[in-house]
């Protein structure tokens, strides 16, 4: 997490110049297209929330639970949008079957094991609850992140599918972009 401590104060600014801004805009549009409707008092969790970009896209009426392994990234969050928790996504400190909607955007590529993550995710989701999760394909963008010092794991679509079933999750929808693959997952009832 040391690298994220260095990135935290710069993170928002590094995303502004073109072409990154254009790539991120496309990712946001795809996420909004896939996002299910959620109830006013839904319990929403943003995993690997970083500086809270995803929370700014949602029009949630209550603060979103923002979980991130980097305290430095959590310190950049706005307190009106987020309730921050410093924790690892592989071992979520949340009640079993308590969450309606999970967003995990830009997280899976930092996780070596999808199975552990999906187990942890499925435990906290309510039956019928939904998660929107992204993975990063192997491309120049992924390569650049490695050059900048990140350890990136590319999970194939097959690995992703294989890890879903044992956790009791199923894929409802998916969308492939150049920079990101997005999946809408549901916990079986
Ligand atoms: C690429 S940023 C994505 C931030 C945000 N979701 C977004 O879309 O703007 C990845 C974030 O995941 C966090 N992260 C990486 N590994 C993690 C883990 N094992 N558990 C929780 N957070 C993690 C990093 O600290 C970082 O803030």
Ligand 1 — pocket residues by CB below 6 A? 4, 48-50, 53-54, 68-70, 73, 88-90, 105-107, 110-111
Q: How confident is the model at residue 17 (pLDDT cuts 50, 70, 90)?
A: confident
Q: Which atom of ligand 1 is nearest to the CA of 8?
A: 27
Q: What residue spans of 63-171 are helical by DSSP H? A: 71-74, 114-124, 140-147, 157-167
| Ligand 1 pocket test target in 32, 69, 111 with most atoms within 8 Å of CB | 69
- Ligand 1, atom 15, lies closest to the CA of 110
Measured between alpha carbons, how far is 111 from 114 in angstroms, rounded to an integer?
7
The rounded Å distance from CA 89 to ligand 1 centre is 9
Q: Is the pLDDT of residue 189 over 90?
A: no
Give per-residue pLDDT as tens, 160-176.
999 999 999 999 999 99
Residue 26: partners with Cβ closer than 8 Å, 6 or more residues away = 177, 179
**Which domains are present in the chain?**
2-187 (3.40.50.150)
Q: What is the pLDDT of residue 59?
A: 85
pTM summary value = 0.96
Measured between alpha carbons, how far is 9 from 33 in angstroms, rounded to an integer?
30
Q: Is the pLDDT of residue 15 over 90?
A: no
The rounded Å distance from CA 128 to ligand 1 centre is 25
């Amino acid at each position: 997490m040391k690298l994220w401590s260095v990135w935290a104060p710069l993170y928002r600014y590094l995303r502004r110049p073109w072409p990154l801004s254009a790539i991120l805009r496309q990712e946001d549009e795809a996420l909004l297209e896939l996002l299910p409707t959620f109830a006013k008092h839904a319990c929403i969790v943003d995993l690997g929330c970083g500086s809270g970009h995803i929370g700014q896209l949602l029009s949630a009426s209550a603060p979103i639970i923002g979980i991130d392994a980097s305290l430095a990234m959590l310190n950049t969050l706005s307190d009106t949008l987020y309730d921050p928790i410093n924790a690892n996504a592989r071992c979520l400190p949340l009640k079993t079957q308590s969450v309606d909607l999970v967003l995990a955007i830009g997280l899976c590529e930092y996780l070596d094991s999808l199975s552990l993550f999906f187990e942890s995710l499925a435990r906290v989701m309510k039956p019928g609850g939904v998660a929107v999760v992204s993975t990063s394909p192997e491309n120049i963008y992924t390569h650049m992140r490695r050059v900048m010092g990140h350890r990136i794991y590319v999970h194939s679509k097959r690995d992703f599918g294989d890890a879903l079933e044992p956790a009791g999750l199923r894929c409802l929808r998916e969308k492939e972009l150049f920079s990101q693959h997005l999946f809408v997952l549901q916990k079986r009832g």
